[in-house]
Structure formats: structure tokens, C-alpha cells
């Protein structure tokens, strides 16, 4: 077998990328090894890729990331269907199929770790240790490595070994008790928000660790969890509990601390308004024939205490007006307002496209498709212009880059993938 440990540090952008273009952005030249699956870890790694990092995704031979099988919907040919779930969190990555329980897989991962700047994993606590890649071993191989580790309920404590799935954590971390039409109607958020927040926190932690490494020369371990990520965004509902000793409960589409602020019925539809100051309240109330000085409406605290009366007064004022007419009138007087769009309306919206929130890619199976785009853009002052990553790669098919990456490592044809789509026999998936 070729020695894949010789010349252990290579320029991560120097190797052929087989359809994963080098990224512009502040992390250009950074190599990320993505061992994660499902959503939290892959979302973190995708955020780093959007910032210009080269991300090599390690997947189980045969089946790949769990989300390759999460559907419907699936798209593409019946003999090779692609899960839209997987497409949502794996753009700008390369895929290599590696059996980490084989000698070959261990060799490939060791070689990647020696070259990497960041490793992302979301196994249950202890799994990497059993594979021979404890934190101590990872930093022996590469003292500069930043390790991002994401779990469901945290890495320590009495419930650290619980499996963490988004909806379970939304419930356990209190978010579902705040979401829904009322206290007896707990609802999950319509996207896997615990996973997504954990991924965002993970990427944020990685960036801080990379910045610190510039001063210390040493990598750190970054840990976050779905639990900590949801508790970390309780915001004013958290201090309402810990300081005011109130227990917030779901109350539908109206703000618990500001009124009027929410979704209101009108002629033939609904509109949202956010009246967040006394000045706005006086402007709004006067324009719509409501007495702003009514004792029960005089201050925000009064309006919150008399929320149902406020809602009734606003909806009575809106009853003769349709949504578009109201939105135009509200804009004229400077009241923040909006509609509730379906997702097809969102992706067709000119403002969304202008902001780069839809990107076109060429998928190996599907051909040209559009994906939701990254949320952060970069600009150089003066004449430098925008430096946001402009060319994006489609989420890879399983082992799409196996041959190219193994050739770069000096180990082409030695095991789990040769770039042809043929992989070794799948062992028990890692969890």
C-alpha cells in the first residue's frame, strides 16, 4: 500500500476538485473534513464551505449520509433518486466513501486529519474514541486541528448519551411549549431549528477557534449541542422565566410583550404588523381611527394587558380593506408590515434573488437545479467589490470525488472508493 502519510501537509486547494470549485471568501485555503451526517454537522460544514473552505465529506460506503434516504420528496431518475433533504445541507462539498472500520478507512482518515484545518463530527460521545480517533490522537496527528463536535444533549452530564433528534429537543428544551395557538397546542417549528442552530453555533465556534489559532498555533475542541442551541435562543422568554419567575406559554401569532404586534385578519386575508414603539402606536392608531389615548391602550404595558381588545380594535379597522391595500397604506405611514408568503412565493421574490439567496448549480444526476443560498455576503471597502463566493458546487453524489481525493492522498485504488461509484461492502453504519 502506498504511504499516504508522506508529505503530511498539502495546500488543500492544490488538488483537483472534480467539480467542487475553489471557493472565494475568507476561508479560501482552509480544509475541512466532514464526518457528520443528518443535519446539524452537515449544516455547519456547509456554512464553512460557503465561506470558501474546501470540505471533504466522508460517508459510509453503500448508503452514505442518512439524509440520502430521507424522503419523499425524491427527484431524478427512478433508478437513482436524489433526496431533496440531502441537497439542502451539502452544497460545495466533495464526497468520499470510506469505511472507517477498515484498515484502509483508518489510513485515509489519518491522512486527511494530518492535512486538515477543521474536523466536524456529530457521533454519539465515545464513537470516535472507539475508532481510534480520540481528541488526543487527533491532536497528536495534527496539533493545529480544530475539532467541532456536536451532540444532542451535551458531551457531559447525566443525560449526555441520549440520542438527539430535532423534534425531541424542541420539546425537551421548551421551544414547543412556546409555539402553537395556545397552551394546549404545542407545536414544533416548521424547520429543524435545533439542528440548524447547533450547526450555526458550531460554525461560529470554529471561526473563533481558527482566529485563536493564529495567535497560539494550536487547535481547540469546539463543543455544542442541540439542547444548548435551543436554550441559548430563549432570549426574553428565558429571562422572563429566570428573573420574573413567569412560565411563558404558547399564545399563537401575537407577541407576548408588545401590542399590537402579530397577524391580523382583514378583508379576504391577513397581514402582519409590528407596532414597536409609542410613536408608531400613535401614528398607526390615528391613521386607522383608533383613539391612541384610550386608558386601556395608552401604553404598551396597557395594550399587552388588554391584548384581546387591541386585536379586536385593529381587526375592526382592517375589516373593510384587503391585504394589498393595507400593506400599501401601512408602508406610506411607516408602519412595519408584511404578508405571509408560501415558499414558492419566497423563492420567486425579486428581493430574495437580489440578495443571492437562490443559487444555481449543476448536479451530476439532476443537471441544473436551484438551491437556497448562503445568508452572509462579503464586500471590500472602496473599489474591491463583493468577495462572496460566487461559484457553487452541487451537493455530491456518493463517492463522487473518491478517486480524485485518494489520488491526492497517494492512495488511489486502495479500498473504499475509486471514483467509479463502486464501494466496499457496507459494515454496520456508524451512529
Given 195, 291, 302, 344, the catalytic residue: 195
- Is the torsion defined by CA of 139, 63, 10, 110 positive or negative? positive
d(CA 339, CA 410): 56
Q: Of 117, 106, 5, 122, which is closest to residue 56 (Cα–Cα)? A: 117
Active site annotation includes 195: yes
Give the DSSP per-residue string, 318-382: HTTS-HHHHHHHHHHTT--EE----HHHHHH-HHHHHTT-EEEEEETTTEEEEEE--S---EETT
Q: Of 271, 261, 262, which is closest to residue 326 (Cα–Cα)? A: 271
Cβ burial, residue 356 (10 Å; 0-12/13-18/19+) = middle
CA 155 to centroid of chain Cα atoms: 20
CA distances from 328 to 202, 334, 338 (A): 41, 10, 10
Cβ burial, residue 231 (10 Å; 0-12/13-18/19+) = middle
List the catalytic residues: 195
Amino acid at each position: 500500500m502506498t504511504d499516504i502519510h508522506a508529505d503530511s501537509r498539502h495546500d488543500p486547494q492544490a488538488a483537483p476538485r472534480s467539480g467542487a470549485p475553489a471557493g472565494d471568501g475568507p476561508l479560501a485555503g482552509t480544509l475541512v473534513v466532514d464526518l457528520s451526517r443528518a443535519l446539524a454537522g452537515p449544516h455547519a460544514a456547509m456554512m464553512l464551505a460557503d465561506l470558501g473552505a474546501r470540505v471533504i465529506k466522508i460517508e459510509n460506503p453503500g448508503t452514505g449520509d442518512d439524509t440520502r434516504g430521507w424522503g419523499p420528496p425524491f427527484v431524478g431518475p427512478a433508478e437513482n433518486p436524489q433526496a431533496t433533504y440531502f441537497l439542502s445541507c451539502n452544497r460545495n462539498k466533495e464526497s468520499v466513501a470510506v469505511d472507517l472500520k477498515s484498515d484502509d478507512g483508518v489510513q485515509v482518515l489519518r491522512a486527511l486529519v494530518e492535512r486538515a484545518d477543521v474536523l466536524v463530527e456529530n457521533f454519539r460521545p465515545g464513537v470516535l474514541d472507539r475508532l481510534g480517533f480520540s481528541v488526543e490522537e487527533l491532536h497528536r496527528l495534527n496539533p493545529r486541528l480544530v475539532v467541532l463536535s456536536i451532540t444532542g444533549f451535551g458531551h457531559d452530564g447525566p443525560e449526555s448519551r441520549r440520542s438527539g433528534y430535532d423534534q425531541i429537543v424542541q420539546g425537551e428544551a421548551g421551544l414547543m411549549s412556546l409555539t402553537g395557538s395556545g397552551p394546549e397546542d404545542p407545536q414544533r417549528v416548521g424547520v429543524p431549528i435545533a439542528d440548524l442552530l447547533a450547526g450555526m453555533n458550531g460554525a461560529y465556534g470554529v471561526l473563533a477557534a481558527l482566529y485563536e489559532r493564529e495567535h497560539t498555533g494550536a487547535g481547540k475542541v469546539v463543543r455544542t449541542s442541540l439542547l444548548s442551541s435551543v436554550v441559548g435562543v430563549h432570549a426574553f422568554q428565558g429571562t422572563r422565566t429566570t428573573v420574573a419567575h413567569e412560565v411563558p406559554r404558547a399564545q399563537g401569532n401575537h407577541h407576548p410583550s408588545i401590542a399590537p404586534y402579530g397577524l391580523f385578519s382583514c378583508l379576504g386575508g391577513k397581514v402582519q404588523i409590528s407596532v414597536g414603539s409609542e410613536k408608531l402606536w400613535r401614528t398607526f392608531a390615528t391613521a386607522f381611527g383608533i383613539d391612541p389615548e384610550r386608558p386601556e391602550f395608552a401604553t404598551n404595558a396597557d395594550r399587552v394587558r388588554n391584548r384581546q381588545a387591541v386585536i379586536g380594535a385593529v381587526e375592526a379597522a382592517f375589516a373593510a380593506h384587503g391585504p394589498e391595500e393595507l400593506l400599501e397604506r401601512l408602508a406610506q405611514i411607516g408602519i412595519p408590515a408584511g404578508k405571509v408568503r408560501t415558499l414558492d412565493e419566497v423563492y420567486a421574490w425579486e428581493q430574495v434573488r437580489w440578495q443571492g439567496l437562490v443559487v444555481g448549480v449543476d448536479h451530476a444526476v439532476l443537471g441544473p437545479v436551484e438551491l437556497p443560498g448562503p445568508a452572509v455576503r462579503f464586500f471590500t471597502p472602496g473599489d474591491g467589490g463583493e468577495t462572496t463566493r460566487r461559484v457553487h458546487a452541487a451537493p455530491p453524489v456518493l463517492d463522487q470525488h473518491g478517486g480524485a481525493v485518494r489520488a491526492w492522498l497517494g492512495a488511489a485504488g486502495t479500498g473504499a472508493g475509486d471514483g467509479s461509484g463502486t464501494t466496499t461492502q457496507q459494515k454496520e453504519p456508524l451512529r
